[in-house]
Amino acid sequence: MEIEQLMTKMNEFVAAKGWYEIDSKKPQTPRNIAISLALEASEVLEHFQWGETPLDKEALGSELADVTLYLLQLAYLCNIDLEESVLQKLDENYLRTWE
């Protein structure tokens, strides 16, 4: 599945929950989604808190999926072509050096 297809599935889910509605108790604003993205990313860290490898790969996969969904939604809400941005960033990184 491609990024655009994943984004469509994510939007269908959010719409089905009514979270894009004006009176939603969970307003899907870029700020709120950015906060949710950061919170979910911290949950990924919990899997590595006491060791180098996660004990529960399925649970880690679930957290990574949450991060991905919030990232897709933030890109959508900010009208960012995530695929284009990723490819551009990779091109830039090829020119960088890390010491």
Domain ranges of the chain: 3-95
Q: Which helix (H) or strand (E) holds 76?
A: helix 57-77
Q: What pTM value is reported for the model?
A: 0.91
Q: Residue 64 pLDDT > 90, yes or no?
A: yes
Q: How far apart are CA 68 and CA 71, in angstroms?
A: 5
Residue-wise pLDDT tens digits, 9-38 = 999 999 999 999 999 999 999 999 999 999
Tell me: pLDDT of 1 over 90: no
- Sorting pLDDT into bands at 50, 70 and 90, what band is 39? very high
Mean model confidence pLDDT for the chain: 95
Tokens 């919990």: give the residue.
46
Q: Tokens standing for 63?
A: 């957290």
CATH topology of domain 3-95: Helix Hairpins (1.10.287)
CA distance 97 to 72: 28
